[in-house]
Structure 1
Amino acid sequence: MRLDKLLVELNIGTRSEVKALLKKGLIFVDGQKATKPETKVDENAVVISYQGKEYTYQKFSYYVMNKPKGLITATEDAHDRTVMDLFYEKCPDAPKGLAPVGRLDKDTTGLLLITNDGKLAHELLSPKKHVDKTYFVTLDGQLSAEDIAALEAGVRIGEGDLTAPATVKYEGSNTCYITIHEGKFHQVKRMFFAVGREVLELKRTSFGQLTLDEEDLPIGHINKLKCESFY
């Protein structure tokens, strides 16, 4: 890869900015000063140094956010603040081109994966892969045994077929965990509405192999992951 392209991918600057940095002798490649933007480097092995900080290239990046309320799950929005607005405020050195995997409603909190690995995102969201998603739900009332049986067997939410079988772990009172592997619009809320209950609070606690640890990842915080977390 050309050195100037790599520097841009490492988010050190724009193409013109990194050329200026190279001209000034401010970029070091494996400890040696580099000045030519067209220099070819092995992006998977080279270590770039700039302003005392070392940069190494990673083709794909993975982050998890404990999404707070009030954010749209999108890369950008003309009217509302998005999860990516928050992400780049907290992680300004992260690569460009990252995006959330799947969608959490504006008033839903919890585990959200952010990556530029399109293949992984497709696999996690594909209905054929049956990737589990678990939510902690606060309701406006208690669930009966019949309600739980209906949710686990599948209910009608206005789209023809029943929802796929779910797993419900009732916590008593007005809270429960529900695990689904579909991703229909407002699905969890609509499922509970189908058994006569309204969702007051909704938090995703797991997504595939990822589990939300609120001590390690408080609301609104972001952690970087290693790709081994998924494979």
Structure 2
Amino acid sequence: MKTTLRLDKLLAHSGFGTRSEIKLLVKRGAVTVNEKPVKDSGMQVNPDRDRITVDGDPVSYREFVYLMLNKPQGVISATEDTRDRTVLDLLGDEYAHFELFPVGRLDKDTEGLLLLTNDGKLAHNLLSPRKHVPKTYFAEVDGAVGSDDVQAFAAGVTLDDGYETMPAQLNVLHTGKPEQNELSRIELTIMEGKFHQVKRMFEAVGKKVVFLKRISMGPLTLDPELPKGNTRELTEDELQALIHVHE
């Protein structure tokens, strides 16, 4: 974090309104820095050292926020959309001013772990193709998934556009019996994130994914206690583990 920043930027980032609204707060004497009323909303302050209050209440400044979301189906991984609800629509008002965005994307009909943040550097590192951050999914598959598929995925499969995937780890939890309309259940860990990749990998071996849920991304695992559609902030241990991914 920068040593100093503009007071109006700090207050706007802390949810106290637009810069013009903050000017009005300053004008009526509502803002103090180190017990002194502020005259200039553009003054430089140090959030680590200066004591800032608005109407007598101390301002707690945070530059970055990191949220774990258990994404439900039917919601898209975007910051805005004219037709569908987005993952940001699931957040409480207390996060509105942080300008959060999803790190990567899950398909509209895919649920599970999604990280929301305003830390562009961390997001870039997690998504960088050079990092090969593993992502693990649980899926229900129409078709009998077996050892042949495990070997095929371990070698890499060729998708419909000719792209050959990196080796992936397929763990078969249950081999379904298609003749009895029984689905296979699997966990799949991939090291890249091509469009619809998990679904297309199974299509490449003649099977169809009917349910998909992401359960981990790098060291971050979906909290089993987190209800669908809900978020919680990352713990310090979870955040440090993510930061160390790209060191």
Q: TM-score, normalised by structure 2?
A: 0.84
Cα gap change, 1:78/1:3 in structure 2, threshold over 3 Å: closer, same or farther? same
Give runs of aligned pairs for residues 202-217 of structure 1, distance below 5 A.
202-215=212-225, 217=226
Report if aligned partners of 1:24, 1:35 keep a CA contact under 8 Å in 2: no
Q: In the alignment, is residue 218 of structure 1 matched against residue 227 of structure 2?
A: yes
In the TM superposition, residue 14 of structure 1 has moved relative to its aligned partner by 0.6
Report if aligned partners of 1:44, 1:58 keep a CA contact under 8 Å in 2: no
In the TM superposition, residue 33 of structure 1 has moved relative to its aligned partner by 4.7
Deviation per CA, 1:147-196, whole angstroms, max 9, x where unpaired? 22112221111232421100111111411110001111100001111112
Report if aligned partners of 1:101, 1:115 keep a CA contact under 8 Å in 2: yes
Specify which of 104, 107, 110 is matched with residue 105 of structure 1.
Answer: 107
Deviation per CA, 1:116-153, whole angstroms, max 9, x where unpaired? 22221111111111100000111123312112211222
In the TM superposition, residue 44 of structure 1 has moved relative to its aligned partner by 3.5
Cα gap change, 1:61/1:196 in structure 2, threshold over 3 Å: closer, same or farther? same
Cα gap change, 1:207/1:55 in structure 2, threshold over 3 Å: closer, same or farther? farther
Cα gap change, 1:159/1:198 in structure 2, threshold over 3 Å: closer, same or farther? same
Q: In the alignment, is residue 175 of structure 1 matched against residue 179 of structure 2?
A: no
| Structure 2 residue matching 1:79: 3-state secondary structure | coil
Question: Which residue identity lines up with residue 139 of structure 2 in the other structure?
Answer: V
Q: In the alignment, is residue 64 of structure 1 matched against residue 68 of structure 2?
A: yes
Report if aligned partners of 2:30, 2:56 keep a CA contact under 8 Å in 1: no
In the TM superposition, residue 46 of structure 1 has moved relative to its aligned partner by 3.4
Question: Which residue identity lines up with residue 228 of structure 1 in the other structure?
Answer: Q
Give runs of aligned pairs for residues 1-231 of structure 1, distance below 5 A.
1-30=5-34, 33-50=37-54, 54-87=58-91, 90-173=92-175, 174-215=184-225, 217-225=226-234, 226=236, 227-231=239-243
| Structure 2 residue matching 1:129: 3-state secondary structure | coil
Question: Which residue identity lines up with residue 197 of structure 2 in the other structure?
Answer: Q
In the TM superposition, residue 57 of structure 1 has moved relative to its aligned partner by 2.5
Report if aligned partners of 1:47, 1:56 keep a CA contact under 8 Å in 2: no
In the TM superposition, residue 81 of structure 1 has moved relative to its aligned partner by 1.4
Aligned residues: 228
Q: TM-score, normalised by structure 1?
A: 0.89
Q: Distance in 2 between matches of 1:54 and 1:213?
A: 32
Cα gap change, 1:25/1:230 in structure 2, threshold over 3 Å: closer, same or farther? same
Runs (5+) with no aligned partner, structure 1? none
Q: Distance in 2 between matches of 1:46 and 1:201?
A: 51
**What's the C-alpha RMSD, in Å, of the aligned pairs?**
2.1
Report if aligned partners of 2:160, 2:204 keep a CA contact under 8 Å in 1: no
Q: Distance in 2 between matches of 1:176 and 1:30?
A: 58
Report if aligned partners of 1:132, 1:208 keep a CA contact under 8 Å in 2: yes
